[in-house]
Amino acid sequence: MEHTQLEGNLIIRCETAGTSEWLVIHSINEEAFGRPDEADLVDNLRKEGVILASLVAELEEGIVGHIFFSRMYIETRNQSIAAAALAPIAVLPKHQRQGIGGRLIRHGLDLLRQRGEHIAIILGHPDYYPRFGFSCAKAESLESPFPPKSFMAMELVPGALNGLLGKVKYPAAFGLGR
Ligand SMILES: CC(C)(COP(=O)(O)OP(=O)(O)OC[C@H]1O[C@@H](n2cnc3c(N)ncnc32)[C@H](O)[C@@H]1OP(=O)(O)O)[C@@H](O)C(=O)NCCC(=O)NCCS
């Protein structure tokens, strides 16, 4: 993905592979969530080799936000359909509510579309994610361990979820078992 200059000095770009940026991303997640779980999740998803996209939001002062997408599946009766799990997303507390999270999500979804992904799935706040196209209704026929109110899906290709009935299978790093 090309670097994209947004209004102000915000840049959204793919992460640079390598320990130094991974450490920064780790600390952004830890600070945004106020605990290490999501930061560790990102490290473990990388180790598991299921990364689809990892984008950072960068200002002159450095990286202030991060979003991660990993490979998951919807297991129907006779096939495994590939989907993208959005998790986690983090913006440093002092930069929240300035549209950075929204920009990370939109850029991430655009990138996934460009790469031919069909479906994105999120467990998140029902007031926030519908504005990007996620909906509980779209996830209704997907069996998951999550409360239906917070479990949302989105078609990156129109019709991708039509008639799809199955159980979600997340990467092992999520610790959800089978
Ligand atoms: C969620 C998060 C990434 C959003 O980033 P952001 O840059 O603040 O988001 P934006 O500025 O694009 O959007 C802000 C809007 O989202 C809403 N919003 C953000 N997080 C929300 C949440 N957890 N629940 C409900 N609404 C939320 C805000 O109310 C605001 O809405 P408004 O503009 O209508 O008032 C950021 O708040 C964050 O890092 N939070 C801590 C980590 C976290 O909870 N991650 C999400 C896990 S699902």
Domains of the chain (ranges plus CATH)? 4-171 (3.40.630.30)
d(CA 154, CA 126): 13
Q: Is residue 58 left, alpha or beta, with left meaning phi > 0 and alpha meaning psi from -120 to 50?
A: beta
Please tell me the pTM assigned to this model: 0.93
Q: Average pLDDT for residues 103-114, to the nearest whole number?
A: 98
Q: By the 8 A CB rule, do 100 and 91 touch?
A: yes
Which residues face 59 on adjacent strands? 62
Q: Which of 104, 99, 94, 20 is nearest to 68 (CA)?
A: 104
The answer on pLDDT for 5 being more than 50 is no
C-beta 126 within 6 A of ligand 1: no
94 pocket-lining for ligand 1 (C-beta < 6 Å): no
pLDDT above 90 (res 99): yes
Residue 1 has pLDDT above 60, yes or no: no
pLDDT at 177: 75
For residue 63, how far is its CA from the centre of ligand 1 (angstroms)?
17
Nearest CA to ligand 1 atom 27: 128
Give the mutation target among 42, 94, 96, 131 for probing the ligand 1 site: most ligand atoms within 8 A of CB.
96
pLDDT digits (tens, 9 = 90+) for 57-91: 999 999 999 999 999 999 999 999 999 999 999 99
Atom 35 of ligand 1, nearest CA residue? 97
Q: For 11-31, what is the mean pLDDT?
A: 97
Q: Flag whether pLDDT at 8 surpasses 90.
A: no
Average pLDDT over all residues of the chain:
95
Average pLDDT for residues 94-116, to the nearest whole number?
98
pLDDT for residue 178: 60
